[in-house]
Amino acid sequence: MRMRRGTLVFLLLLVAEASGQSPPGSPWQVLRVDSVEIRFTAADAANAKLVARHLTLDGLPISDELGLHRLPRATVFIAPDKIAFDTLSSAELPRWTAAVAIPARRRIVLKSPRWGRDSDLVWDLLHELTHILAAEATQGRPIPRWLDEGMALYFSRDLRYLKSRALSRALLTRSLVGLDEIDDVLRFHHAKAELAYQESLEAVRYMVDRFGSGVLQDLLMEFRAGSPFPTAFRRVCGVPYRLFEAELFHYWARRHRWDFLIDFVYVLWGGAVALAAIAYLLIRRRNRRLLRRWEEEEQMGGLDSWLGPPAPPDQSPDDAERSAYD
């Protein structure tokens, strides 16, 4: 009996994870960066090297920011196809999911750029690595989802959300998501999830601007000590969490309400440029036709001077010649 491909992949993954190395005949190859293992297939060798480079260049600085100063033991899988991604993720995920971190298993699963069209390998790596680092910093104690996702977006510098206008549109339509609601982000449809992620990012950016660059590390240390979130927040930031949230939403209303107009202005400018280009082409075409007509008229004028003046309309050429001798 032929074994189904998904079952075979799953068994190979279990053997690889249990043994810490790829079994004979396994499609998986291993690249190590300190205590992190990168597992990939031959087709993703270049992607694995890219992951290794950014673990060193960007991963270590993020660990410093969160107070760890090292990369924890973890495994990064570059899934060669959807079957492998679903098997390694071991969870029901929304279709818009680009990557996943499983802190309890110290695992990151990335989609290979060869098939994950909406994924960006570096941004997704740093995003999921931040989740692993945050869990390591708190020794697995839970933290609010908006803070976890906000830190992941903040440290990954993901331009997909830095340039998003979802927050501005939500302010206009009064459809902001409460920070506590973001705990259910994996149940949101894509547009609402995009808003939740941008809110998370902007909340963390505001915290860093408002309370200083060490606020995130200090909060994680409070969680590690067992402080509940409202208590930890007040100790570190000096204000009650609910007051901070109200202040944050008020700031967004002043700062981001009209951001969506930037896209509108771009559309207007784009339309103006397109109209100008069309007008230029039409004028150029008209000028070419006019120039061609002038050239034809000049050629006809030269021919008329060589043939002589035209005969009167009521006379034939013979009559005109005869009348000249009369």
Asked whether residue 37 falls in the same domain as residue 123, the answer is: yes
Q: pLDDT tens-digit profile of 144-172? A: 999 999 999 999 998 888 777 888 888 88
Residues spanned by the domain of 81? 1-137
| Average pLDDT, integer, range 53-58 | 96
99 strand-pairing partners: 110
In this predicted structure, the answer to whether residue 43 has a pLDDT above a threshold of 80 is: yes
Number of domains in the chain: 3
Cβ contacts of 149 within 8 Å, gap of 6 or more = 182, 185, 196, 197, 200, 201
Residue 308 CB: number of other CB atoms within 10 A? 7
In this predicted structure, the answer to whether residue 83 has a pLDDT above a threshold of 70 is: yes
How far are the Cα atoms of 201, 302, 311 from residue 308, in angstroms, in the given order? Answer: 86, 10, 9
**What value does the mean pLDDT of the chain take?**
83
User: Which one is predicted more confidently, 11 or 240?
Assistant: 240
Q: Are strands 36-40 and 99-102 parallel, antiparallel or unpaired?
A: unpaired
Asked whether residue 128 falls in the same domain as residue 113, the answer is: yes
Amino acid (1-letter code) at residue 224: R
User: Which one is predicted more confidently, 248 or 266?
Assistant: 248
Asked whether residue 16 falls in the same domain as residue 74, the answer is: yes
Four-point Cα dihedral 314, 317, 320, 324, nearest 10: 180
| Average pLDDT, integer, range 74-92 | 93
Nearest to 210 by CA among 245, 183, 179: 245
How far are the Cα atoms of 50, 72, 153, 156, 159 from residue 62, in angstroms, in the given order? Answer: 17, 12, 12, 9, 17
Highest-confidence segment of 75-79, 112-116, 287-291: 75-79
Asked whether residue 132 falls in the same domain as residue 4, the answer is: yes
| Average pLDDT, integer, range 94-101 | 90
Contact 22, 59 (CB under 8 A): no
d(CA 31, CA 33): 7
Domain end point (choices 78, 103, 137): 137
Q: Are strands 74-79 and 107-111 parallel, antiparallel or unpaired?
A: parallel
Where residue 105 sits, what CATH number does that domain have? 3.30.2010.30
In this predicted structure, the answer to whether residue 233 has a pLDDT above a threshold of 60 is: yes
Run of H or E including 213: none
In a domain, 300, yes or no: no
